[in-house]
């Protein structure tokens, strides 16, 4: 699997090809997870060249979604083929994540989002 990262305005776009499986899911999660930092990050994962996702790949996406939510990042997926969409539907992920038909639609949707404040840091209780 080859992972490519690029900037489109203030959006980080990550594209990969091949299989998102146990072999590659950790590297994928690490590469994308590094982008979920800073002020109001926006991440678009382009799945146009991902042809297969296993449970390990689903777990990687879930971990990224959780990290994005914790940091206030905007996170979306685009270009999902029918086979991968079936896996996302079967696992119940589709209602929890923004999935756009194409990269241009995903970019437009993320560009339309107002800046979200990062969650306030938690303070320890005495």
Residues 40 and 49: their CA atoms lie apart, in Å, by 27
**Residue 35 pLDDT level (bands cut at 50, 70, 90):** confident
Residues 89 and 43: their CA atoms lie apart, in Å, by 21
78, β-bridge pairs: 46, 100
For the entire predicted model, the pTM comes to 0.83
Q: Are 88 and 111 in contact (CB under 8 A)?
A: no
Which DSSP category does 77 fall into?
E
CA dihedral of 89, 92, 95, 101, whole degrees rounded to 10 = -30
The class level of CATH for 3-112 reads alpha beta
**Residue 6 pLDDT level (bands cut at 50, 70, 90):** very high
Per-residue pLDDT for 76 more than 80? yes
pLDDT value for 123: 60
């Amino acid at each position: 699997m080859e992972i490519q990262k690029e900037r489109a305005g203030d959006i980080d776009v990550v594209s990969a090809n091949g299989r998102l499986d146990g072999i590659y899911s950790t590297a994928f999660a690490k590469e994308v997870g590094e982008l979920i930092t800073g002020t109001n990050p926006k991440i678009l994962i382009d799945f146009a060249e991902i042809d297969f996702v296993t449970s390990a790949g689903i777990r990687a996406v879930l971990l990224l979604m959780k990290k994005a939510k914790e940091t206030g990042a905007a996170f979306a997926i685009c270009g999902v083929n029918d086979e991968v969409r079936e896996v996302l539907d079967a696992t119940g992920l589709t209602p929890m994540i923004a999935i756009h038909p194409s990269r241009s639609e995903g970019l437009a949707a993320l560009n339309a989002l107002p800046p979200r404040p990062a969650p306030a840091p938690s303070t320890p209780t005495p």
